[in-house]
Amino acid sequence: MKIVVLDGHAANPGDLSWAPLEELGELSVYERTPAELVDARMADADLVLTNKVALTRERMARAKRLKYIGVLATGYNVVDVAAAAELGITVTNIPAYSTDSVAQMVFALLLEICQQVGHHSAAVQDGRWSANPDFCFWDTPLIELAGKTMGIVGYGRIGRKVAQIARCFGMDVIAWTRTPRDPECVSLDELLSRSDVISLHCPLFPETKELINRETIAKMKDGAILINTSRGPVVNEADLRAALDSGKLYAAGADVATVEPLPSDSPLLGAKNLFLTPHIAWATFEARARLMGIAVQNVRAFLAGAPVNTVC
């Protein structure tokens, strides 16, 4: 049984072990696979694991031995799952491995916006505190979260974890989801109009693509804060930039972008009061260790004839 990992570097840049997967078959691990080498590396594979390498109908059809695709992430839009189902290929993903880490990043971004710790620490190192006539100084607004309203768009595992943490800060929580079943759930329009902070946690579907755009931003409070740790295309980036530069939104924090890596001509670059990180919310050591463990469990279950975490 030949197992091929097409792009293992992101999940395991060397601080975790592939040994548990080696016990399940003949393993080949590639740190990255450019498009022109995908077919060759999949040619004689029975099982393929991918993170961001796209597996199209044509690529899967050419891999004659392929029986299983394991996506090393929760989102699985890199695989044409309809084609995989037609070809009799089982596809699995990794659910719920990064909940705590992503929720932590939400508040890392939000607290940086509210307190600007990095900026003020750099100012101290630059000598500005030493030269200050008062015992303290600050040159950005400092914002307390207690009493503010947190609006959560998408109320799955991560959204609920964010709600739990927000309540610990003394925030009021409201949420919007396509299947409302909790007392804190409200309409999207109500959430947009009431929230001081809006945190995005919805999956990327056709109906959520560019959910945040000029029209929905116009319904938000003046001076609201937007946090996006879900998927980049949920936000129209040009409209977000316009809202930040005009002051309609006070600030935004994002760990994702529509195109990744971020293009040098992205409208996000240079936007006013935007705190942007390079898609690292999921990447704590602990979360990646869980991901690796679940990936092995998925393969083991498939080989035993009882696949789990299947998406098709």
Residues noted as catalytic: 231, 260, 279
Run of H or E including 69: strand 68-71
Residue with tokens 């755009």: 213
Instruction: Please state, as a whole number, how many other Cβ atoms lie within 10 Å of the Cβ of residue 233.
Output: 16
Instruction: Please state, as a whole number, how many other Cβ atoms lie within 10 Å of the Cβ of residue 261.
Output: 9
Q: How far is CA 127 from CA 116, 119, 137, 138, 141, in A?
A: 17, 13, 12, 13, 20
Distance CA 228, CA 159 (A): 11
Q: How far is CA 3 from CA 49, 67, 138, 303, in A?
A: 8, 11, 55, 11
Report yes or no: 67 and 91 within 8 Å, Cβ to Cβ: no
Report yes or no: 228 and 240 within 8 Å, Cβ to Cβ: no
Residue with tokens 């004839």: 305
Contacts of 285 (CB under 8 A, 6+ apart): 15, 16
Distance CA 50, CA 131 (A): 53
Helix, strand, or coil here: 246? helix
For the CA atoms of the chain, what is the radius of gyration?
22
Report yes or no: 282 and 256 within 8 Å, Cβ to Cβ: no
Using a 10 angstrom Cβ sphere, with 0-12 exposed, 13-18 middle and 19 or more buried, the burial of residue 303 is: middle
